Amino acid sequence: MDTHIDIACLQTRPMPDFNSALGEALPLADAAVQAGAEMLFLPEYCGGLKSKGAALDPPAALEGDHPFLKRFQEFAADKGVWVMLGSIAVKQSGKLVNRGFMLDPNGRIFGRYDKIHMFDIQLSETEIYRESDTISAGDQAVIHETPLASIGHTICYDLRFPHLYRNLAQAGANILTAPAAFTKKTGEAHWHILNRARAIENGCYMISPCAIGRIDGGGEAYGHSLVVNPWGEVIADGGMLPGVVQARIDLSKVNEARARIPSLSHDRAYSFSDASRRTA
């Protein structure tokens, strides 16, 4: 059985509306398929992203009428490839949801994931983000059990919660994904380290497409879409320009890494001692 997969991350710029987002992503998707990619990975809010003060204000539509989703369903069916939309903004009653999709080579929705952890942080007096002001959090972890690989779908700020990735790996994921619009400031400090750590801890590939460039209304995405192997080595890095990040991965490396360091099977139950709770 061939354990190799040709994958591509599309490093797109955050666009303020559906049409410009499609104009950004579709040529890159076509180029990736022409270069041999079997599975495409797009960033968080690949269907469009704007901000309004501290709140995110992405263009949104009902799932059944979402123009970005529908067009990429057509693309997947036309090209016969798997497409993971890192996330798009989907309308529902009340707030929006930050929802990712896996599309199969027939253009059908194979799976969905709603981002669990909301990006509510204050980096400085002026740089504040409150994703939860406009977005509802999900509460279900998701593995896409495709014929090519078992893919754990997470989104951006989820990357800072290692237990989620460990649970996905222990449940069978051999690829973990963190599509993102990581901020430039936090990306420079933490993006590579966190992706490498999640790969090492779980003996998994990390595939993390990240948007690049300024966001309409304020903010800037870091770029540097990454493919990290199960030993924690960066095998592809998208740098700081829009484009296609191509890689050929070998899933046999997952079993190899887990055999060398089988930490996923070494978890032990523990409790806090009374002494650890005492204060001086």
Active-site positions read 44, 115, 156
Report the alpha-carbon distance of residue 72 to residue 48 in Å, rounded.
14
Tokens representing residue 138 in the block: 């999900």
